[in-house]
C-alpha cells in the first residue's frame, strides 16, 4: 500500500533539548512540499501543548496545534468524557493541560507523567493511597528513558509507573505511545489507513514496535535515545533503520516517488 502520511516523534528525532537537530527544519519542509500530511506524536510530559508549540516555533519548526498529539491532551479528553477528577502526579508545566477537569462529579483518577523532581516519596505514596482506595490508574507514558538536555539519558516515567503497579498489584492504562488508541487517534485525524502511514522515531519499543503492531510501517533513526542493537530487541523488526531524520525523509520520499511512478 502506498505511503500517504507520516507520524513523527519529536524528541531525539527532530529536536534535542532546546535545539532543532541538523537538517530537521529542511526535512520537514521537504515532507510538506511533497504533499505528505504529518502528525507529531510525542510522549513528552514535561511541557504543556502550548509550551511545546511555542518551543517548536522558536527554533523554526512550524507545527500546527492540530498536528501535535500529546498524552496529556488524550488524558484530559478521557477525564472529561468519564467525569473523573484527576489526582495528578505530573510535572508542574503540565497542569495547565488539565484545566477544567478539577470539578468533575465522578470518581478519582491517578494520572502519572514525568514529574521529574516531583517523584518524591510523599507524592508517590499519596498516589499509591488513592489507587488503593479505588482511583482509576492512567499513565501518560511508560518510556524507560529519554535523552535529556545535557545529552545524556535520564530515567523516564515508566519506572515510577512500574513502582506503583508493583505496590498496588494493578496495571496502569497507558494513554501515550505505544497505546493503540493514541496511534488510532493520530491516524483518524489524517483520514488514512494504518498501512498508508509510516512512523519515524528513535524509540524502538514505543515508536517503532508500537506503530508496527498497529499496522503502520516503522522507521527507526539512530539518534536521540537509540542505542546500537535496539532494532534487534523488538518484534516486528523495523521497516528501515536509518542514521537520522533527514536520511529517513530522503528514504521516504524515494519510496513515495517510486509508488507514484
Main-chain dihedrals φ then ψ at residue 190, nearest 5 degrees: -80, -25
220-225: list long-range contacts, CB under 8 Å, 24+ apart.
221/12, 221/13, 221/245, 221/247, 221/248, 223/12, 223/13, 223/16, 223/21, 224/11, 224/12, 224/13, 224/16, 224/147, 225/12, 225/145, 225/146, 225/147, 225/153
Pairwise CA distance, residues 40 & 6, whole Å: 8
- DSSP line for 217-240: EEEEESSTT--TTGGGGSSSPPSE
**Sheet with 5-8: strands ordered across:** 68-69, 38-41, 5-8, 197-201, 217-221, 240-242
CATH number, span 83-174? 3.40.50.1000
Run means of pLDDT, 10 residues per run, the chain, 261 residues: 91 91 94 94 94 93 93 93 95 95 86 97 98 97 89 93 98 95 93 96 95 96 95 94 97 85 59
Question: What are the structural domain ranges in the chain?
Answer: 5-43+177-260, 83-174
| Confidence (pLDDT) at 1 | 59
CB neighbour class for 45 (10 Å; exposed up to 12, middle 13-18, buried from 19): buried
| Confidence (pLDDT) at 17 | 83
∠ at Cα 257 (251, 258), nearest 5°? 90
DSSP single-letter state for residue 189:
H
All three cell numbers of 53: 508549540
Fold match between 5-43+177-260 and 83-174? Answer: yes
Asked if CATH classification 3.20.20.70 holds for the domain at 5-43+177-260, the reply, yes or no, is: no
Amino acid at each position: 500500500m502506498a505511503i500517504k502520511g507520516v507520524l513523527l516523534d519529536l524528541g531525539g528525532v527532530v529536536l534535542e533539548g532546546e535545539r532543532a537537530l541538523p537538517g530537521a527544519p529542511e526535512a520537514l519542509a521537504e515532507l510538506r512540499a511533497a504533499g505528505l500530511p504529518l502528525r507529531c506524536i510525542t510522549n513528552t510530559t514535561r511541557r504543556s501543548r502550548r509550551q511545546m508549540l511555542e518551543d517548536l516555533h522558536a527554533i523554526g519548526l512550524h507545527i500546527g496545534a492540530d498536528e501535535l498529539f500529546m498524552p496529556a491532551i488524550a488524558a484530559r479528553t478521557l477525564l472529561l468524557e468519564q467525569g473523573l477528577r484527576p489526582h495528578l502526579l505530573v510535572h508542574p508545566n503540565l497542569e495547565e493541560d488539565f484545566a477544567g477537569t478539577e470539578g468533575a462529579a465522578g470518581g478519582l483518577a491517578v494520572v502519572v507523567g514525568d514529574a521529574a523532581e516531583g517523584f518524591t516519596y510523599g507524592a508517590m505514596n499519596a498516589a499509591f493511597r488513592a489507587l488503593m482506595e479505588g482511583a482509576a490508574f492512567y499513565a501518560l507514558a511508560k518510556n524507560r528513558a529519554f535523552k535529556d538536555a545535557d545529552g545524556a539519558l535520564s530515567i523516564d516515567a515508566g519506572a515510577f509507573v512500574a513502582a506503583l503497579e508493583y505496590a498496588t498489584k494493578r496495571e496502569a492504562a497507558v494513554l501515550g505511545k505505544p497505546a493503540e488508541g493514541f496511534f488510532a487517534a493520530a491516524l483518524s485525524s489524517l483520514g488514512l489507513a494504518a498501512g498508508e502511514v509510516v512512523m519515524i522515531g528513535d524509540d524502538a519499543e514505543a515508536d517503532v514496535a508500537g506503530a508496527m503492531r498497529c499496522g503502520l510501517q516503522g522507521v527507526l533513526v539512530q539518534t536521540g535515545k537509540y542505542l546500537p542493537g535496539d532494532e534487534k530487541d523488538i518484534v516486528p523488526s523495523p521497516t528501515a533503520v536509518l542514521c537520522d531524520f533527514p536520511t529517513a525523509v530522503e528514504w521516504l520520499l524515494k519510496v513515495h516517488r517510486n509508488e507514484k511512478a
